[in-house]
Every structure is written in structure tokens, then in C-alpha cells.
Amino acid sequence: MNEDAELLSRYAEGKSEAAFAELVRRQVNFVHAAALRRVGGDAQLAQEVTQQVFTALAREAGRLARHPVLCGWMFTATRRIAAQAV
């Protein structure tokens, strides 16, 4: 299990806010950059997409903690949410 999956697992099992905050800190630039590209450079909309991605991640944490490629899920979620936003 990689470090991101471990952080998500700790959040899912014990609702460790610190673990989730660290995961967000590690991945927020990746998600935001992908969102910014997908929404055509609209910074405000990219921020909203980013927030929705991490909200979905928190909601699905139990199921996703064992996902083999968590960053792949985040990228796909970003694409899907951005497509709905534009």
C-alpha cells in the first residue's frame, strides 16, 4: 500500500482528520492543475472542482482506501466533475 492509500485508510478507519489533511496537502496541486486544464483556465471553477473531488474522496474513503492507483481515481474524478461543471 502506498503512502496516499495508507493516509486514506487511516481516515476511513478512524476518521483521522490529520491523515486526510495530509493527503489533501500532498495531492491538492495535482488535482487543481488537472481541474484548471479541464475548465479552460478558470481559476474559480477549478477551485470548486478541486473541492468537489476531495469531498467525493472523503465520502468514498472506505471503498477507495484499497484502490490500487488512488491518483488515477483522483484524475478521473477531476475529469468527470470538471466536465459536469462546464
Position 1 confidence tier, pLDDT thresholds 50, 70, 90: low
**Domains, the chain, ordered by start:** 3-85 (1.10.1740.10)
The model's pTM = 0.92
pLDDT tens track for 24-82: 999 999 999 999 999 999 999 999 999 999 999 999 998 988 888 899 999 999 999 99
Strand, coil or helix: 1: coil
DSSP class of 68: S
Position 7 confidence tier, pLDDT thresholds 50, 70, 90: very high
CA distance to 27, 51, 84, 86, per residue, from 24 (Å): 5, 10, 22, 24
